[in-house]
């Protein structure tokens, strides 16, 4: 048994899915994976609500085996990659399409246009904010208690699972820096806004901890100021990232690191921070070495930088998708997501994570 387990751990570096021997199958490194977030990781929850923030139509999913699924990219999202590297046989399903024993393996609660603040993204219609995602998780826990028989067994099960949270992008994109719809930009300084977001984030983390979450991955906000939409709107040359947006995001990210230290003081807690901003900064700075030739325009979109209007239904995307960092006006391509997912799982730089990567967290 120990030899088989060792082989599985080694094999996961090249993806456990590649180990296709018919006589044995690798068990996942953790029993379940629960995902919270926005359109960067939504894999279909918004398909079930009335919202403009949906991606269940071509050309979204053009490189995904199942076609358009609700993923806001051409193929895999970062959490799809992480699930593969953790050894799961299948992608973690959207909560909206998950029930019963399926919840034993986890669920994806993410919702496009969602934010930490309740009002974030409201101009796009329906979405499930962080609070609603946490409520859905609480419902899932009650189901798990019923399935497993008692609270203690469910708590033990959940304590071995990975939880990842990627929230905050929309609180800047679709709130603070959108004065036509929101007044937060005039009511708060960037520092005050970051403090307000972190206060809400802390409250939701406390609820997750109370409901069994112990191995928690907090994914920082990436370089929103470098997205094609922001370049199209604010960048004079269409290439230079928008510093006032990225500076504000860095204030939020630094506070997230503080939350990691705060929650790691709790019994049994193992919280970690993924520095998505740093990883993305490296991808942009060294694009050619990663095989990217286009760093400032979406593969699919309309207008300046292919970013003034995001990818339209049945629009023909670019042919060289693997050479684009961005798939549409806001979201990375599968090629970029694979890099971020791999570096989240196994850090390639000391600046990628704090204090540990996901592979280390899974082994605890």
Q: Active-site positions?
A: 39, 328, 331
Read off the pLDDT of each residue in 338-358 and give the average, rounded to a whole number. 98
Check whether the bond before 59 is cis (ω within 30° of 0): yes
At 171, give phi and psi (nearest 5°). -65, -20
For all residues of the chain together, what is the average pLDDT?
A: 94
Question: In whole angstroms, what separates CA 125 from the centre of its chain?
Answer: 21
Reported as a pLDDT band with limits 50, 70 and 90, residue 51 is very high
**Contact status, residue 335 vs residue 291, Cβ threshold 8 Å:** yes
* pLDDT, position 3: 34
Query: 166-218 pLDDT, tens per residue?
Result: 999 999 999 999 999 999 999 999 999 999 999 999 999 999 999 999 999 99
Reported as a pLDDT band with limits 50, 70 and 90, residue 256 is very high
For the chain, what percent of residues have pLDDT higher than 70?
Answer: 93
Query: 76-92 pLDDT, tens per residue?
Result: 999 999 999 999 999 99
* pLDDT of 271 above 80: yes
* pLDDT of 122 above 70: yes
Read off the pLDDT of each residue in 239-245 and give the average, rounded to a whole number. 97
At 335, give phi and psi (nearest 5°). -60, -40
Reading the block at residue 289, the tokens are 């070495």
Reading the block at residue 208, the tokens are 């997750």
Reported as a pLDDT band with limits 50, 70 and 90, residue 231 is very high
Closest CA to 228 of 287, 276, 170, 296: 296
* pLDDT, position 326: 98
Three-state SS string over 60-118 comes to CCCCCCCCCCCCCCCCCCHHHHHHHHCCCCCCCCEHHHCCHHHHHHEEECCCCCCCCCC
Q: How far apart are CA 258 and CA 99, in angstroms?
A: 35
For the chain, what percent of residues have pLDDT higher than 90?
Answer: 93
> Taking the alpha carbons of 242, 295, 222, 69 in that order, is the dihedral positive or negative?
positive
Read off the pLDDT of each residue in 319-335 and give the average, rounded to a whole number. 98
Looking at domain 33-363, which of 3.40.50.1110, 3.30.565.60, 3.40.50.1100, 3.40.50.1240 is its CATH number?
A: 3.40.50.1110
Torsion angle in degrees (nearest 10) through CA of 327, 332, 333, 336: 150
Q: How far apart are CA 321 and CA 358, in angstroms?
A: 28
* pLDDT, position 26: 79
* pLDDT, position 25: 61
Region of poorest pLDDT, from 12-21, 61-70, 85-94, 118-127: 12-21
Length of the chain counted residue by residue: 364
* pLDDT of 12 above 90: no
* pLDDT of 2 above 70: no
Read off the pLDDT of each residue in 266-281 and give the average, rounded to a whole number. 98
Reported as a pLDDT band with limits 50, 70 and 90, residue 15 is very low
């Amino acid at each position: 048994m120990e030899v088989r387990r060792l082989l599985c751990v080694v094999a996961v570096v090249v993806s456990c899915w590649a180990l296709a021997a018919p006589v044995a199958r690798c068990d996942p490194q953790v029993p379940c994976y629960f995902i919270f977030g926005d359109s960067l990781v939504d894999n279909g929850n918004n398909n079930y609500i009335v919202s403009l923030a949906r991606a269940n139509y071509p050309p979204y999913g053009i490189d995904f085996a199942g076609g358009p699924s609700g993923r806001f990219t051409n193929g895999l999202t970062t959490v799809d990659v992480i699930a593969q590297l953790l050894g799961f046989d299948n992608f973690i399903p959207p909560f909206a399409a998950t029930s019963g024993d399926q919840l034993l393996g986890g669920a994806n609660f993410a919702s496009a246009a969602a934010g930490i603040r309740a009002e974030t993204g409201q101009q796009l219609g329906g979405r499930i904010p962080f609070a609603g995602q946490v409520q859905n998780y609480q419902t899932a826990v009650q189901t798990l208690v019923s399935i497993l028989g008692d609270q203690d067994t469910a708590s033990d099960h959940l304590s071995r699972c990975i939880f990842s949270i990627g929230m905050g992008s929309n609180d800047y994109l679709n709130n603070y820096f959108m004065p036509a719809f929101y007044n937060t930009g005039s009511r708060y300084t960037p520092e005050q806004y970051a403090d307000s977001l972190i206060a809400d984030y802390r409250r939701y983390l406390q609820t997750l901890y109370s409901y069994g979450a112990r191995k928690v991955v907090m994914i920082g906000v990436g370089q929103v100021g470098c997205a094609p939409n922001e370049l199209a709107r604010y960048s004079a040359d269409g290439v230079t990232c928008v510093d006032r947006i990225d500076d504000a995001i860095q204030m939020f990210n630094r506070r997230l690191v503080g939350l990691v230290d705060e929650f790691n003081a709790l019994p049994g807690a193992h919280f970690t921070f993924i520095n998505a901003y740093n990883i993305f900064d490296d991808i942009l700075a060294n694009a050619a070495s990663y095989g990217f030739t286009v760093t400032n325009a979406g593969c699919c979109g309309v207008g300046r930088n292919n970013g003034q209007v995001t990818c339209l239904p049945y629009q023909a995307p670019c042919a060289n998708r693997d050479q684009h960092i961005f798939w549409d006006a806001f979201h990375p391509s599968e090629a970029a997501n694979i890099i971020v997912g791999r570096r989240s799982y196994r850090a390639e730089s000391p600046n990628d994570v704090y204090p540990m990567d996901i592979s280390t967290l899974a082994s605890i």
